Amino acid sequence: MLMLVFSDYQPQAERLAARLAMPTAKVDIHHFPDDESLVRLPPFLPEHVFICRSLNQPNNKLIELLFCARTARQLGAKRLTLIAPYLSYMRQDIANQPGEAVSQQIMGQMLAELFDDVITVDPHLHRITSLNQAIPINNAISLTAADEIARFLKQQRDYAVLLGPDSESEQWVLAIAKKIGFDFAVATKIRRGDKQVEMCLPDFDFSNQPVVIIDDMASTGRTLSKATELLLAAGAQHIDAVITHPLFCGDAQAHILQAGVKNIWSTDSISHPTACIYLDKLLAEAVRAVL
């Protein structure tokens, strides 16, 4: 077995490989001036190859993944396992207007054609319940970081109210709150545009309470900022946030801090300065289970 690692996800992949006592090799990527990618794998591969790379900022990474997987097969890999803790293009699961590409299905089909196993963490599945409805293979494995987040939060706080900013976040907030016995509440959100978010807090007394907002991802940060604004107006004492996938595009992080969040903590599913909740143990258990 061998784990192929990429420079943008190397520390996480190396941690995981070390846990599994699996050798690693680097995939070299050269970007030409016109932004085409040259992908170079080690020329000799074992039968079972793991490719470990999160798929945030996905457009270049997806074409590189395609080249990587097809080349690995040509070089003799019989089984290919993708470990992508963040899986992009999962949110567009229907055509909202006629003619729109349903990226979840198209991406899922592509991954199913390339890989024997796909392992990811808390993918954003809204209208489907299991990952293999999007990626039609038996080993489409969706893990949750809820245990890791719960353990981390328990080390940070004796008590806090956990707030999910929208109905989709309820699954994670509920799971984490149950594990550590914190109260939780879920807001309702309407997204009017990329950076336009309307929200209503639930009927809960937040005054003088420490609150931790829990969400699966922060992209523009507007969801977290809006929740923070409303919580402060409702008298919350102190607001932190835990994010599974820290996409943090553009001014997102600054916007959230400016709104009044004190600490932003995230998992290392994406390389980011806020990443302090490591997923290697969770991923290693999943890898052992597929072997």
Q: Which of 64, 93, 148, 216 binds ligand R5P (CB under 6 A)?
A: 216
91 vs 157 by CB, closer to ligand R5P = 91
The pairing of strands 79-83 and 48-52 is parallel
Q: How far is the CB of 188 from ligand R5P (least distance, A)?
A: 12
Q: How far is the CB of 169 from ligand R5P (least distance, A)?
A: 6
Give the Cα separation of 110 and 80 in Å (integer). Answer: 14
Q: Which of 117, 148, 166, 268 binds ligand R5P (CB under 6 A)?
A: 166
Taking each helix axis as running N to C, give the angle between helix 252-259 and helix 222-233, from 0 to 180 degrees, rounded to the nearest 10: 0
- The two tokens of residue 136 are 């039609």
Choices 14-22, 57-65, 164-172, 264-272; region in contact with ligand R5P by CB under 6 A: 164-172
Alpha helices in the chain (DSSP H): 10-20, 58-74, 103-114, 146-156, 170-180, 222-233, 252-259, 280-290
Choices 62-70, 108-116, 138-146, 163-171; region in contact with ligand R5P by CB under 6 A: 163-171
- The two tokens of residue 263 are 């600490």
Choices 80-88, 108-116, 215-223, 265-273; region in contact with ligand R5P by CB under 6 A: 215-223
Choices 27-35, 97-105, 160-168, 269-277; region in contact with ligand R5P by CB under 6 A: 160-168
61 lies in the binding site for ligand R5P (CB under 6 A): no
Give the Cα separation of 281 and 145 in Å (integer). Answer: 10
Give the Cα separation of 148 and 282 in Å (integer). Answer: 8
DSSP state of 193: E
- The two tokens of residue 256 are 């959230």
Q: How far is the CB of 143 from ligand R5P (least distance, A)?
A: 17
Q: How far is the CB of 267 from ligand R5P (least distance, A)?
A: 14
Q: Which of 12, 56, 223, 244 binds ligand R5P (CB under 6 A)?
A: 223
101-140 footprint of ligand R5P as x/- string (CB under 6 A): ----------------------------------------
- Asked if residues 22 and 50 have their Cβ atoms less than 8 Å apart, the reply is yes
Q: Which of 222, 253, 265, 284 binds ligand R5P (CB under 6 A)?
A: 222
- Asked if residues 135 and 113 have their Cβ atoms less than 8 Å apart, the reply is no
The pairing of strands 188-193 and 196-200 is antiparallel
Using CB under 6 A as the criterion, which residues of the chain lie in contact with ligand R5P when the complex forms?
165-166, 168-169, 197, 215-223
